[in-house]
Amino acid sequence: MDLLYVTIGILLLLLGISSTIYFLSARPYQSSESVAYSYDQWTEDGILEFYWGEHIHLGYYGSPPERKDFLKAKSDFVHEMVCWGKLNKLPTGSDLLDVGCGIGGSSRILSKDYGFNVTGITISPKQVKRAQELTPLALNTKFMVDDAMNLSFPDASFDVVWCIEAGPHMSNKKKFAQELLRVLKPNGILVVADWNQRDDRQQPLNSLESAIMKQLLDQWSHPAFASIEGFAELLEMTGSVQGKVITEDWTEQTLPSWLDSIWQGIKRPKGLWYFGITGFIKSLREIPTLFLMRIAFGTGLCKFGMFYAIKK
């Protein structure tokens, strides 16, 4: 019992320290360059990769959620998204664009396990470099720096456009939707997974919710979250979609990821000294954001949206 109280005391102390650091060092969105800078820093110091592995996105725990290893849940998410988007029915050698590829975790699975020719893009040069370092030459996978709101590819370049959790960094959601569909071939598949906000047209945010959202936006260089309904409408408004955009809410399936992220720091204390005092401080400053994300997604303020569309 004494050990339990000591552990709780240490956790509260760390939370107090991290909260102080958090409120003194925001990273608000300023431009696409500020997003690139943030990801360059996270990639260069290696802390995010140490705790989150090669997948810089949430994990899939099922519905109802089951206890699962954090890193396995992340790779499981990729396979679940493939099946949800019916991509496992496509022929080997199909061309796939991974928008916001991070350090290439999803790209490698898509190439190795499903036979796609993958092009991964990110706005961060250091992420491209790290993705190239982690990817075997034998895989049909390449990485490049590109802007998702102004893609460098010609129209109708890909059989599949795939995107996980990149939308919150896009300042112009309409342009983002247009670009995703522009580079997709006729009858090609778009599959997107994203962090979304509750549709405030139906239920406006109260003052507390607005304050929480401001913190979530400012801490991780996000200009705004779209709602599931709003982004589906933007995709349909392009006039490039066959029928309606199919959406689904995977909040329940991904919710354990937030507290699991914090637990990694307790489970793997080596990181607290491996990265030195600067790394220790950087790790601590993320704890309040992770807690706020858990609160936001757990209360319905935020939702995890899935989007599926076929190009005309």
Length of the chain, in residues? 312
Chain-centroid distance of CA 81 in Å reads: 13
Distance CA 268, CA 260 (A): 12
CB 48 within 8 A of CB 71: no
- Tokens 């470099």 label which residue? 129
CB 112 within 8 A of CB 85: no
The one-digit pLDDT tens for each residue of the chain (312 residues) are 444 444 444 444 444 444 454 444 577 888 888 898 889 988 998 888 999 999 999 999 999 999 999 999 999 999 999 999 999 999 999 999 999 999 999 999 999 999 999 999 999 999 999 999 999 998 999 999 999 999 999 999 999 999 999 999 999 999 999 999 999 999 999 999 999 999 999 999 999 999 999 989 998 889 999 999 999 999 999 999 999 999 999 999 999 999 999 888 878 877 777 887 777 777 777 888 898 999 999 999 999 999 999 999
Pick the closest to residue 76 from 235, 211, 232, 260 (CA basis): 260
Give the number of other Cβ atoms within 10 Å of residue 237's Cβ. 12
Distance CA 312, CA 308 (A): 13
State the CATH class of domain 2-310.
alpha beta
pTM listed for this prediction: 0.91
Domain ranges of the chain: 2-310
Scored b (16 or more CB within 10 A) or e, 25-62 reads eebebeebeebbbbbbebbebebbbbbbbbbbbbbbbe
- Which pLDDT value is given to residue 53? 93
